Amino acid sequence: MPPVAAPAAPVIRPVQTDASGRRVHEPPAFLLDDAQRLAARQAGEAARAASAARRVDRYKIAYALATRAVRTQAESRLLGRDLDAALAALPGAPRCPRVDVMPAGDNWRSVCWPMLQRAEAERLRDRLTERGQRVELIEF
């Protein structure tokens, strides 16, 4: 019978404390640093944009719903959240692939795009207008 190897001794790390005597915990090794997190976020945004572009390329015309033009990007983001929430609250309404804040001259607009069928875009516009949202149908 071969000899059984002794288990490896556990690695004991000294407890690190800060100047006030509190324990300092190291972040787990699986967390991403800032550069990796930024790269992952940009890769995800690029993949979503490429996916939307591929869907739009299959059709000659696509449609978008846009909020009114506002002066600041922050106000446009708030209108985009309202638009997204209103779309989510509609029964049976498909969620738009993207709700983005886009420049419109000197102003900003939140845009829900792409929608591939005009009838669907008009139906959503009419239902949002009934609920008090001011949106415009844009063909591109």
Answer yes or no: is 28 within a domain.
no
Q: CATH number, domain at 68?
A: 3.30.70.1070
Answer yes or no: is 30 within a domain.
no
Identify the domain containing residue 108 by its residue range. 61-139
Answer yes or no: is 19 within a domain.
no
pLDDT digits (tens, 9 = 90+) for 92-118: 766 666 889 999 999 999 998 888 888
Half-sphere exposure for 56 (CA within 13 Å, toward CB): 18
Half-sphere exposure for 110 (CA within 13 Å, toward CB): 21
Q: How far is 98 from 106, CA to CA, in rounded Å?
A: 22
Q: How far is CA 71 from the centre of its chain?
A: 23
pLDDT digits (tens, 9 = 90+) for 33-82: 888 888 988 988 888 878 777 766 666 788 899 999 999 999 999 998 88
- 109: which 2 tokens? 């607009």
Answer yes or no: is 7 within a domain.
no
Q: How far is 46 from 36, CA to CA, in rounded Å?
A: 15
| Amino acid at position 121, single letter | A
